[in-house]
Amino acid sequence: MTASKVRAALDRAAAVGAGREGLNILVAVNPRAEDDAALSVVGRSEQELPLSGEPVAVKDNIATLDMPTTCGSRILAGYVSPFEATVVRRLRDAGAVILGKTNMDEFAMGSSTEHSAYGPTRNPVDPSRVPGGSSGGSAAAVAAGIVRMALGSETGGSVRQPASFCGVVGVKPTYGRVSRYGLVAFASSLDQVGVLGRTVDDAALALGVIAGRDPLDATSAERAVPDYRADVRRAATAAAPLAGVVVGRPREYFPVAMHGGVRDRCAVALDALVRLGATVRDVSMPHTDYAIPVYYIVAPAEASSNLARFDGVRYGARVSADALAAMYDATRSQGFGPEVTRRILLGTYVLSAGYYDAYYKRAQEVRALITQDFRRVFADGVHLLFTPTTPTPAFPLGAISDPYEMYLNDIFTATANLAGVPAISIPIGLADGLPVGGQIIAPHFGEGPMLAAAAALERALGASPLTTPPSPAAARS
């Protein structure tokens, strides 16, 4: 049974054209996947293995021993890590089989999975459109029916935004809930490993497996991990699962310029929350408008420091030159793509002498105000927040060339990363025939109630709007 699951996943990946010929979802396939499936259950009972033989896809910036970890970049072409990420080890210990590595925006810097050395990934719902990013490959792997669950990473919305675009579930846990050991660093105070699933229950199962304290990550929290699936299943079957729950509707997350279809689907979701027993209250998060400027100072600043290690000396690609400085210059110029280069330059600038106080220090001060917005609202009797995940449905490949316009795709998601709170995106319907995601945000370490509310809403709204993935021929067209 376990081997057949993996064989079915491999066949499905081939059918939808997971490489450049089709949707371009997987950049590497585990050559031992079927053998791993057979070995995963040896000597252990089903009770010990919550993911017995389950194929799981992993984003290409999460370290694995048996496949390259390239972060979608030429500078790490062929690089195989000498250690594996804690989240990968925990998946294996739970009986999961790592099926392959998923495409992504280079070094997780992007909102469309168009900025990859492997080429763009296409959205399984409509191959003419982007799947979102930077975890677009992981979201597409779930949406295309290759796997039930996948791992992605989040710095400013890179799990929830592609989940919304592809019509799947995406969870960003509390900062510190899941180990970052083995996740290639982009912006260390923001980075999180997240999960994508076909349903809330799938996402809850995966999160429960990978969550928990890790001595290899000093930022991981010493907090017990609740039984998320028990919360989900109670909420999915109760008559009034949200009785007594106060849901905040932040005014700043519903701007006039938002896509009409997204606004309409959010209104339907809010009505459903009321029918489920919740009280919906309008609230204000006054510093929300500063989230994108703050994020695009803090994240590039940390990236400029973290990516300094990719210099052609220790690992990765190296371009030969007559002198050390020339080698650095040639390696980094040829190894990094334009978006990564842009962010390194921006980050170096805001950290430079004379500009640190004006930009980076001030951004951190405003980040604290954004965090206080969340604390104030949650302290005022609000249990959860509901917002749209993205301002629009998925846009066509190549439609956005202006970097700032691209950055605005994260306008509703970056705040949760800046504040470190958990958030989930679930499908809430269609607009113009494309999936729309609704976002539920919880207080720190409030994943249980958040997942329970998401499961209740998922049930109330009916099935996910996933469509049958296209044939390889359609994907190429």
Write out the catalytic residue numbers.
59, 134, 158
Contact 15, 21 (CB under 8 A): no
- Name residue, tokens 């699933």: 197
Nearest to 389 by CA among 149, 187, 194, 150: 194
Nearest to 27 by CA among 18, 35, 39: 18
**Distance, CA of 12 to CA of 30 (rounded, Å):** 15
Collapsing DSSP to helix, strand or coil, 408 comes out as helix
Q: Are strands 246-250 and 97-102 parallel, antiparallel or unpaired?
A: unpaired
Q: Where on the phi/psi map is residue 439: left (φ > 0), alpha (ψ -120 to 50), or beta? A: beta
**Distance, CA of 105 to CA of 467 (rounded, Å):** 24
**Distance, CA of 283 to CA of 247 (rounded, Å):** 9
Helix 447-461 vs helix 228-237: angle between axes, to the nearest 10 degrees?
Answer: 30
Contact 109, 186 (CB under 8 A): yes
Residues linked to residue 183 through DSSP beta bridges, in sequence order: 62
**Distance, CA of 232 to CA of 205 (rounded, Å):** 10
Nearest to 169 by CA among 139, 146, 141: 139
Q: What is the DSSP string of 118-135?
A: T-----SS-TTB---SSS
Amino acid identity, residue 400?
Answer: I
Nearest to 439 by CA among 449, 452, 428, 424: 424
- Starting from the edge strand earliest in sequence, which strands make up the sheet with 279-283, in order? 26-29, 97-102, 55-59, 149-154, 192-197, 169-172, 423-431, 434-441, 384-388, 246-250, 279-283
For the chain, what is the total number of helices (H) and then of strands (E)? 16, 11
